[in-house]
Amino acid sequence: MQVPLATLERVHELRNQIDQHNYHYYVLDDPLIPDSEFDRLLSELQELEACYPELITPDSPTQRVGAQPLEYFAEVLHKVPMLSLSNALNDQELEDFDRRVRERLEVAFPIIYAAEPKLDGLAVNLRYESGVLVQGATRGDGITGEDVTQNVRTIPSIPLRLMGSGWPEVLEVRGEVYMPTAGFRKLNLDALAKGEKTFANPRNAAAGSLRQLDSRITTQRPLEFVCYGFGELSGGDLASTHSAAVHKVAAWGMPISPELQSVAGLSGCRRYFDAINERRFELDYEIDGVVFKVDSLQHQRSLGTLSRAPRWAVARKFPPQEEATRLLGIDIQVGRTGAITPVARLEPVSVAGVTVTNATLHNADEIRRKDIRVGDRVIVRRAGDVIPQVVRVVPQDSGTREPEFVMPSHCPECQSELIRDGDGVVLRCSGGLFCPAQRKEAIKHFASRRALDIEGLGDKLVDQLVDKGLVESPADLYLKLNPELLAGLERMGPKSAKNLCDAIEKSKTTTLARFLYALGIREVGESTAHSLAGFFGNLQALTTAERETLLQVPDIGPIVADHLYTFFRQQHNQEVLDDLLAAGISWKEVDQPEAKQTLLAGKTLVLTGTLSRPRAEIKEQLQALGAKVSGSVSAKTDYLVVGTDAGSKLDKAQNLGVTVLDESGLEALLRSIGAA
């Protein structure tokens, strides 16, 4: 049935009107018409779309009502990583940030910063193509997030279609989904009335609401959005400064913080921070600090980023809040890497609006230093307004106290012996291959690219295998998995199951060095694993070695020797090793290569520039010959191997008198010892 022209025009008119009213109501907080009139406009549009379903588009205001539940969230790879922010917990750290910015930019004048409150919600990336919202994704790990498009469509303040014109062909807007405090209170009151579980704080409520598989639930939650940055941008420009770019997208209907300001220098940052801190509890949303960003986008590009955070931005966190409560007990928690942490079990207390029942005690030394004992009245603080910790004991006038707390000697999860880290402070469980608390991390490390390199065995699949009880140790990958079992898992089919089984089978042929690294022994990295393989030549000699023998290996000190000795003396670790070997893992036995190492044994090399072979391949070859491969040049560097486009490392090596080799020089060196 052909749609009448008048109907097409009316639908277009209604959508424009509704979008304008949504913008004025949710973004500007300045409604132009009564709710009843808005409802009539929306109802008319719904009726027209019901008569002519072909008119329904993803950017129609009627599509905010939610859709059928999803089975799971699909993954989204962020074209531009969503980085975290470095924190400044006090004035000195903020001053240090400003100094570093000016030094790197080599300027003496005050830097202009864009300043705005740091909302406590969930970071999301909104992708617009030709002005239409096509995807919404959570931050995830910064590289990969979850596709929550159906859910972000239900948030009234997020435009489904940008207003005006002139937007880039692709525009990724980044910001925070949050729940206003008034909406949070009402949500919890409604839950209490229904006898349902309440949320601990607005942040948890926002995160839980946005990550509902059923978007019809999300649409019932009072969520809002505010833009604070950008991701991918193509087919157009925004502005030369961050603040101007944010205001530009605001003109297209995007909600931004009304508190956004440009401030000059450190003094401007301090004044803004103090002003927001004074009004913190007057705002209708929770914030945990203020974000300062270098306003000039050119300066941002010059400053660049670190691996996890930009150099041009910092979050100045508010001072933590403290409350007193009673310490009811001390529990022992085993982390994913085996770290043993004492945790305070507390009489429930509200700290900064959050009910706290547990708090970290860090380690035994901290407990001893603060003289914390069960039964004490203690001060609890939310460090950075996030992680609860016990600050100190409240002095008491009289009465006896409980005995001093003593840390256990064995892991509460698997009864393996606890050993101290190199700094002597942190205790760790030595049962890495066996301990239930470490199971997932041990298997993920075992299968990683530089270990046994099991292609296709990603983190989420490992989580599934462990959670379902299908895999309890790395040996189970070889002993228990088969294509039929794997094909029944989420996101797995017959072909992917067979491919994974083939990859597991392929990984059985490896090297002794890779196998040792895969075991995840504390402080045994790739270089140390190569040294051990080269020194002992076979696994039996290593597993039975005494501490004195281990100390003869180059670069093995008393701490690493203790880690190795303890690991190989644990009965359950030995059982896993036996199972792995019985499953068919093997390597080519070679003579101990001391004779070939006369030139490179103990030498330190650094690789830089673009090389003709993968850097990991060259590194592994050098380590097999007893060399150490470092990431930075120093006076202890013996050789710098340079490819094309070598940078500052070459200059530093020349200044220090380090021998520089190009690739042909390296090959000649390897040939001279029969290794090429």
329: helix, coil or strand? strand
CB atoms within 10 A of CB 155: 25
Q: Could you tell me the pLDDT band of residue 593, with boundaries at 50, 70 and 90?
A: very low
615 vs 175, higher pLDDT? 175
- Residue 196: pLDDT above 80? no
156: helix, coil or strand? coil
The pLDDT, as a whole number, for residue 126 is 97
Crossing angle of the two packed helices 5-22 and 35-51, in degrees rounded to 10: 140
Q: Tell me how far apart the alpha carbons of residues 570 and 576 are, in angstroms, rounded to a whole number.
A: 10
Query: In terms of C-beta distances under 8 Å and separation of at least 24 residues, what long-range contacts does 94-97 make, across chains too?
Result: 94/266, 94/269, 94/270, 94/273, 94/292, 94/314, 94/316, 95/266, 97/292, 97/314
Contact 360, 389 (CB under 8 A): yes
Structure confidence by residue, pLDDT tens digits, 510-523: 999 999 999 988 88
Contact 170, 232 (CB under 8 A): yes
Same-domain pairing of 492 and 522: yes
Structure confidence by residue, pLDDT tens digits, 162-176: 998 899 999 999 999
Q: What is the 3-state secondary structure (H, E, C) of 517-563?
A: HHCCCCCCCHHHHHHHHHHHCCHHHHHCCCHHHHCCCCCCCHHHHHH
- Does some domain include residue 65? no
Same-domain pairing of 612 and 668: yes
- Does some domain include residue 407? no
Q: Could you tell me the pLDDT band of residue 582, with boundaries at 50, 70 and 90?
A: very high
Structure confidence by residue, pLDDT tens digits, 523-533: 888 888 888 98
On average, the pLDDT of the chain sits at 86
The pLDDT, as a whole number, for residue 383 is 58
Same-domain pairing of 547 and 611: no
Same-domain pairing of 312 and 334: no
Domain residues for the domain of 666 are 593-672
Burial of residue 149, with CB atoms counted within 10 A of its CB: 0-12 exposed, 13-18 middle, 19 or more buried = buried
- Does some domain include residue 585? yes
Contact 287, 226 (CB under 8 A): no
The pLDDT, as a whole number, for residue 594 is 43
Where residue 574 sits, what CATH number does that domain have?
1.10.150.20
Q: How far from chain centre, in Å, is Cα 652? A: 33
Beta partners for residue 316, in sequence order: 88, 290
| Overall average pLDDT of the 152-162 stretch | 91
Where residue 192 sits, what CATH number does that domain have?
3.30.470.30
Same-domain pairing of 578 and 611: no
599: helix, coil or strand? coil
- Residue 299: pLDDT above 90? yes
- For the ranges 63-72, 266-275, 566-575, 593-602, the lowest mean pLDDT is seen at 593-602
The pLDDT, as a whole number, for residue 430 is 82
Q: Tell me how far apart the alpha carbons of residues 93 and 170 are, in angstroms, rounded to a whole number.
A: 37
- Does some domain include residue 559? yes
The pLDDT, as a whole number, for residue 400 is 84
The pLDDT, as a whole number, for residue 70 is 61
Q: What is the CA radius of gyration of the chain?
A: 30
- Residue 306: pLDDT above 70? yes
Q: Could you tell me the pLDDT band of residue 236, with boundaries at 50, 70 and 90?
A: confident
Beta partners for residue 287, in sequence order: 119
Same-domain pairing of 309 and 330: no
The pLDDT, as a whole number, for residue 596 is 42
- Does some domain include residue 63? no
Helices (H) and strands (E) in the chain, counts: 25, 24
Same-domain pairing of 167 and 313: yes
**Among 267, 294, 317, which residue terminates a domain?**
317
Beta partners for residue 261, in sequence order: 115
Q: Residues with catalytic annotation?
A: 118
Structure tokens at 565: 């000795």
User: CA torsion, points 665, 669, 670, 672, in degrees to nearest 10?
Assistant: 130
Q: Tell me how far apart the alpha carbons of residues 549 and 536 are, in angstroms, rounded to a whole number.
A: 10
**Among 567, 590, 613, which residue terminates a domain?**
590
Percent of the chain with pLDDT over 70: 92
Structure confidence by residue, pLDDT tens digits, 262-280: 999 999 999 999 999 888 8
> CB-based contacts of 430: which residues, under 8 Å, 6+ apart?
338, 411, 416, 417, 418, 419, 522, 563, 566, 567, 570, 573
Q: Tell me how far apart the alpha carbons of residues 314 and 542 are, in angstroms, rounded to a whole number.
A: 48
The pLDDT, as a whole number, for residue 434 is 78
Structure confidence by residue, pLDDT tens digits, 2-46: 778 888 888 888 888 888 877 776 566 566 777 667 767 877 888
Where residue 38 sits, what CATH number does that domain have?
1.10.287.610
Same-domain pairing of 38 and 149: no
Same-domain pairing of 291 and 312: yes
Q: Tell me how far apart the alpha carbons of residues 125 and 173 are, in angstroms, rounded to a whole number.
A: 6
- Residue 598: pLDDT above 70? no
Q: Tell me how far apart the alpha carbons of residues 139 and 136 are, in angstroms, rounded to a whole number.
A: 10
Q: Tell me how far apart the alpha carbons of residues 17 and 207 are, in angstroms, rounded to a whole number.
A: 31
Crossing angle of the two packed helices 202-210 and 181-193, in degrees rounded to 10: 80
Task: List the end-to-end C-alpha distance of the chain, in Å, as a whole number.
Answer: 75
The pLDDT, as a whole number, for residue 237 is 86
The pLDDT, as a whole number, for residue 112 is 97
Same-domain pairing of 165 and 201: yes
Where residue 339 sits, what CATH number does that domain have?
2.40.50.140
- Does some domain include residue 218? yes
Q: Could you tell me the pLDDT band of residue 228, with boundaries at 50, 70 and 90?
A: very high
The pLDDT, as a whole number, for residue 21 is 79
The pLDDT, as a whole number, for residue 385 is 52
- Does some domain include residue 305? yes
Same-domain pairing of 141 and 270: yes
- Residue 67: pLDDT above 60? no
> 137 — phi, psi (to 5°)?
-140, 145
Q: Tell me how far apart the alpha carbons of residues 259 and 253 are, in angstroms, rounded to a whole number.
A: 17
Structure tokens at 528: 């140390």
Q: How many domains does the chain have?
A: 5
Question: With a threshold of 0.75, does the pTM exceed it?
Answer: no
**Among 530, 557, 590, which residue terminates a domain?**
590
| Overall average pLDDT of the 445-462 stretch | 90
- Residue 258: pLDDT above 90? yes
Nearest partner of 391 among 401, 404, 377, judged by Cα: 377
195 vs 241, higher pLDDT? 241
> CB-based contacts of 568: which residues, under 8 Å, 6+ apart?
542, 543, 544, 545, 574
- Does some domain include residue 527? yes
Q: Tell me how far apart the alpha carbons of residues 353 and 349 are, in angstroms, rounded to a whole number.
A: 10
The pLDDT, as a whole number, for residue 436 is 83
466: helix, coil or strand? helix
Q: How far from chain centre, in Å, is Cα 632? A: 26
Same-domain pairing of 103 and 146: yes
Q: Give the C-alpha distances (Å, rounded to integers) separating 518 from 168, 432, 526, 542, 572.
A: 47, 11, 9, 15, 17
Crossing angle of the two packed helices 571-582 and 558-569, in degrees rounded to 10: 70
- Residue 584: pLDDT above 80? yes
